[in-house]
Amino acid sequence: MPARIVRALILMLITAFLISPSVLADDEMSDQGDDAALRFVDVEIEPDEPTAGSVATISFRIEDPDGNPVSGLRASGLLRAPSTAQDVAPPPPTVTTIGRELSDPGSYEVAVALNQPGRWWIEIRVDDDSGNIARFDHFTIVDAIDDPAPATTSEPIFIRSGEWNTFYRVDPDTGGVVELPGEHLFDVGGRWWLAEISIQERGSISSNYGGTWRLHVSIRDAISGNSLSTINLGDVRANVYSGSQQEPAIATAITIASDGSAAYIYWARQLGDGWISWVAEADPLTGEIRNEQVINGAIASNGFWAEISIRQDGRVLVTEQVVELASVSGYRLSLIDRDTMEISTQYRRTDAREDSLTHCMLAYPGPIGDVAGDEPVRYSLCAPPESNGSQSLVVWDPVTGEADYSIDLEPIAGDHPGAVDGVASPDGTSFYVVNTRSLRIAEIDLQTGELTRQRSLLPEEDDDPSTLDRFFDWVFGAAAPATAQARGSIEPSVAISPGGEYLYVVANPEDREPGVLVVDLEQLEIINSLKTGEVVDGIIATSDARLVVIQRESDADGDAVTILDQDGRTRVTFTLPGEADVVGIRR
């Protein structure tokens, strides 16, 4: 036999071996025999030629040995990469999902997200209460695509990636994940738009004399993945930051009106010792700049941080923090009329290190938001100088530049000030503060600043051990098993249900297993729990009352995500392509 034919045969054998989940080489396989209690029939798989971002739909019927349809089974599916050697166990699945029973007797359907290109095995399983199991495996090749795939749901979840200027768009039904370029996410009349501000070099850059950069904003429909417009802000002459060779001393921010009628872009540049700022109004669908306004008065500083937002009264609020030697030293507040783009009110304190607003207007990670009512006041969870490192809830007025009140949260912080987090009610009237280590909780009236209720979620020492203490030990018992996170904001520790009835708390109590608690806000009591086995890094409460749990995987390339239905059952688990920024999104 010629050597080239021998080599070809060897290559074919190796290829077949490498793509199998263990030692199997066929592209469709089932472990059912002639006498199996459950058998797959009429299996259909779509699409025939999948691409990254698509969803494989596997529909089938299950029959008993006599050919009768079998209903009432549990169906599930998973996606895993092939094994690389005969004696190597298959790698863990990247997607695990629950199937559904169809109306026709014995008919089922499982949807498996194909998030990444490559060679994959889809494994489908059905089982009954008697322990009977049937399995069907299908090998598929997923092709890469250049542009982001359109959404497979009208209600996706968006998770900010740990990578710069990237979001993950997640289908909560299938675990489908698509990466989208973008820095800022906006809900625009039930649609979702992503905006990215780009700063591009124009010519030579000098650490002594700075250079010129071109600014433009790209706006993308986050559902379809299509580009909507590019807003060209022109060339900007600026310094480079002190100590840098290339980084431009330029600060930017953007907001988009909730009806999509206008985008407001802020930028500031340092030239010499002073910073000068601008705001432009543009059409987000055409990219046309309709108006532009200079914010009067240069400010001498090392740096600028800024945020731009639209108030309930319709005015545009520009919040600027002044930075000196990497420390916040002052601020400027400007309210701009949307119709004329004229500055209606401005308050400026550029050297005010002891002012609580200096540290609280753009507190990171916050949260920060608007208080319900006609007056344009805001709240911030922050650490002002007078709190000596402890957290406070500050409510402040951007018109007067004054704090209406500040509530010291030291009684909640206790020995764990770094574990304090909080969230406002959906209607903006109340704020809930939780210490995720000591599990103390407090309710604050945002209108009056009154601390209306506070208590411990832990049982007191003299409580009946047969009730709350036993329940808590069940929730966080040392023997608890480990388990395999639409809209919403990723909260590191606390999220609230869309109707404001429940609080979801990432609990990391001392000497207890971590988990997620469900707290009834009417009673401030634990009513349910999720044992996670490992520390939870972030949660999302979605608009349809699902809970999304994000956990960092030290031995994996991406974070693990679990989506739970309203009744607490796991709907789908999957692995993100990379890490999530679980602190990044708060609105």
Contact 38, 134 (CB under 8 A): yes
Residue type, 514: P
Asked if pLDDT for residue 476 goes beyond 50, the answer is no
pLDDT of residue 582: 62
Comparing 190-204, 353-367, 418-432, the range with the smallest average pLDDT is: 353-367
DSSP characters over 391-456: -EEEEEETTTTEEEEEEE-HHHHTT-GGGEEEEE-TTSSEEEEEETTT-EEEEEETTT--EEEEEE
Highest mean pLDDT among 204-213, 488-497, 561-570: 204-213
- Give a yes or no: residue 155 inside a domain: no
- 402-408/430-435 β-pairing: unpaired
Do 315 and 190 belong together in one domain?
A: yes
- Give a yes or no: residue 367 inside a domain: no
Asked if pLDDT for residue 376 goes beyond 90, the answer is no
Could you report the per-residue pLDDT of 522-562, keeping only the tens digit for each? 999 988 877 776 778 888 888 777 888 888 776 677 888 99
pLDDT of residue 477: 33
| pLDDT band (50, 70, 90) for residue 18 | very low
| pLDDT band (50, 70, 90) for residue 164 | confident
Do 234 and 345 belong together in one domain?
A: yes
Contact 249, 237 (CB under 8 A): no
Contact 159, 172 (CB under 8 A): no
What's the average model confidence in pLDDT over 309-314? 87
How many other CB atoms are there within 10 angstroms of residue 294's CB atom? 10
Q: Which residue has the tokens 């370029």?
A: 181
pLDDT of residue 2: 44
Do 262 and 199 belong together in one domain?
A: yes
pLDDT of residue 29: 62
Do 92 and 12 belong together in one domain?
A: yes
Element (DSSP H or E) covering residue 384: none
Domain boundary among 329, 353, 377: 353
- Give a yes or no: residue 277 inside a domain: yes
What's the average model confidence in pLDDT over 391-416? 89
Do 125 and 225 belong together in one domain?
A: no
Do 186 and 69 belong together in one domain?
A: no
pLDDT of residue 224: 92
Residue type, 473: D
What's the average model confidence in pLDDT over 372-385? 85
| pLDDT band (50, 70, 90) for residue 566 | confident
pLDDT of residue 32: 59
CA distances from 261 to 197, 258, 293 (A): 19, 8, 18
- Give a yes or no: residue 469 inside a domain: no
CATH number for the domain spanning 131: value is 2.60.40.10
| pLDDT band (50, 70, 90) for residue 218 | very high
Contact 171, 156 (CB under 8 A): yes
Average pLDDT, whole number, for the chain? 84
Query: Which runs of consecutive H residues, i.e. helices, occur in 249-406?
Result: 356-360
Domain boundary among 142, 170, 192: 142
DSSP characters over 39-72: EEEEEEEE-SS-BTTEEEEEEEEEE-TTS-B--S
- Give a yes or no: residue 52 inside a domain: yes
Q: Tally the domains of the chain.
A: 2
Buried b / exposed e along 354-393 (16+ C-beta atoms within 10 A): ebbbbbbbbbeebbbbbbbeeebbbbbbbbbeebeebbbb
pLDDT of residue 43: 96
pLDDT of residue 13: 35
Do 96 and 7 belong together in one domain?
A: yes
| pLDDT band (50, 70, 90) for residue 234 | very high
pLDDT of residue 344: 92
pLDDT of residue 291: 97
- Give a yes or no: residue 419 inside a domain: no
Asked if pLDDT for residue 6 goes beyond 60, the answer is no
| pLDDT band (50, 70, 90) for residue 454 | very high
Could you report the per-residue pLDDT of 35-80, keeping only the tens digit for each? 689 999 999 999 999 999 999 999 999 999 999 999 999 999 999 9
Residue type, 137: D
Task: Residue 138: give the domain boundaries.
Answer: 3-142
Share of the chain above pLDDT 90, in %: 51
Asked if pLDDT for residue 450 goes beyond 50, the answer is yes
pLDDT of residue 288: 97
Do 204 and 314 belong together in one domain?
A: yes
- Give a yes or no: residue 430 inside a domain: no
pLDDT of residue 313: 83
Between 416 and 330, the more confident residue is: 330
Global pTM reads 0.84
Short-list 143, 120, 139, CA closest to 53: 143
Domain boundary among 337, 353, 369: 353
Contact 100, 112 (CB under 8 A): no
Do 126 and 221 belong together in one domain?
A: no
Comparing 16-30, 540-554, 570-584, the range with the smallest average pLDDT is: 16-30
Do 192 and 134 belong together in one domain?
A: no
pLDDT of residue 119: 95
Share of the chain above pLDDT 70, in %: 86
- Give a yes or no: residue 233 inside a domain: yes
| pLDDT band (50, 70, 90) for residue 96 | very high
Between 100 and 351, the more confident residue is: 100
Q: How far apart are CA 492 and CA 531, in angstroms?
A: 17
Contact 32, 17 (CB under 8 A): no
Do 135 and 219 belong together in one domain?
A: no
pLDDT of residue 554: 66
Do 97 and 202 belong together in one domain?
A: no
